[in-house]
Amino acid sequence: MEGSASSSEASLRKLFLPSLAMASFASGPISVIAALLLIDIGNTFSISVGVAGQVNAAYSIAALVLALLTSLLSVRFSHKSLLLFGVLLMTVSAFGCFLAQDFVSLLVFYSLSGAGYAITNPMTFTLVGESIPLEKRPRAIGWIVAAGALPYVIGAPVIAVMSGFGGWRFPLLGFVLPILLMTLLTAFLGLPKASEIHGDARAHVSFKEILMNRSAVACLIGDALRSAAFVAILVYSISFFRQRFLMPVELASLVLLGGALAYALGGLSTGWLVNRIGRKLSTASTVLLSGIFTIAYVLVSSVSLSILAMLFGSWFFGMAASSANSLTLEQIPRLRGTLMSIDTAVLNIGSALGTMAGGLTLLYFGYEGMGSGLGTVGFAGAMVFFLLAKDPTKPI
């Protein structure tokens, strides 16, 4: 009997990393629906695309608020419970959006996905920090980062096909909800109970302690800057290819797919680099390289070279995401949940500011100005990581 119980526990432990990767993956498909099918959503409710796009604003606002709230909740509730609650919120969101009869209802239910993401995302990394040995954490984080990019690789074509059969609502019921329900089950079974977590998960929260830690603040600032720089590729690259090189939509969608795949592979390939040269140097170098290729893709005159530069930029942004999360996670171990929740809020702020700054520079200085400006922001982020951050896992 004891052997059988031990075998069962070992099987459940094998679900730990897959359940975290699934939670990261499950956070994305509903955003892909909004990106791909915004016109269809607008037609359903007889509103313009610009108005329909406000679901993204509601998502971002909810994510920002809940990320800050989670920084407080993470010291009062177990991180497994919070992750499950975040996935549950996204499940309610998907079902509510499927049933929504008017745009206001859709707006409210869609915002719950932002709230769920803001709870789930920091808890995935926090659980890695508490349950996986130090040398194995970078690889685990790489899998989580890669899983977060896969909705654009796997989900986009699946959602596009399913929407052809039943409109924009059908992928919610046939794709998003099953994934979320499966994530709830695997996370419930595969994640350790609060009593099984090593470390002081109930440490008294102290924003002052975080703000007084120069390296932790440097990680937050660096993350905001790299998030802003990534906007040049994530938000504006496909429009650049379509307008500058008159690329057809079908080919542009393949380029987007390639960029998402490059980002995922970049995240996966980072573990060995972190363990070889350290969290700080791997973060600073990959953020720097991502900035260089961000500038390059808007300046080269050849469409082939431009696509290649964008793919390399996506690769290094994926590497930077894994490295930066590995670095931030180790700054203040007893406040991991708090710090990673604040980091999620900071990443949303950086992305919002990058989108606004990129739009303004695009308006006045064209794509060259947009890419060069945001690429330079990436340089600044690399310098912040290199000069002000430290790797607590490395001897001084």
Cβ pair 95, 121 in contact under 8 A: no
Same-domain check for residues 30 and 169? yes
pTM over 0.95: no
The number of distinct structural domains making up the chain is: 2
Cα angle 261, 289, 374 (rounded to 5 degrees) comes to: 90
Same-domain check for residues 220 and 307? yes
DSSP SS3 for 191: coil
Q: Tell me the mean pLDDT in the region 52-64.
A: 81
Residue 302 lies in a domain: yes
Residue 8 lies in a domain: no
Same-domain check for residues 148 and 225? no
Given a cut of 80, whether residue 383 has pLDDT beyond it is yes
Same-domain check for residues 209 and 189? no
Residue 375 lies in a domain: yes
Q: Tell me the mean pLDDT in the region 225-235.
A: 90
Same-domain check for residues 369 and 387? yes
**pLDDT tens digit sequence for 284-331:** 999 999 999 999 999 998 999 999 999 999 999 999 999 999 999 999
Residue 178 lies in a domain: yes
Cβ pair 329, 336 in contact under 8 A: yes
Residue keyed to tokens 């595969």: 190
- The model's confidence at residue 50, banded by pLDDT at 50, 70 and 90, is low
The domain of 20 spans: 13-193
Domain limit, last residue, from 159, 193, 227? 193
Report DSSP state, residue 199. S
CB atoms within 10 A of CB 161: 12
Given a cut of 90, whether residue 39 has pLDDT beyond it is no
Most confident residue range from 159-168, 201-210, 259-268, 306-315:
306-315
Residue 3 lies in a domain: no
Residue 294 lies in a domain: yes
Same-domain check for residues 151 and 25? yes
Domain limit, last residue, from 193, 225, 248? 193
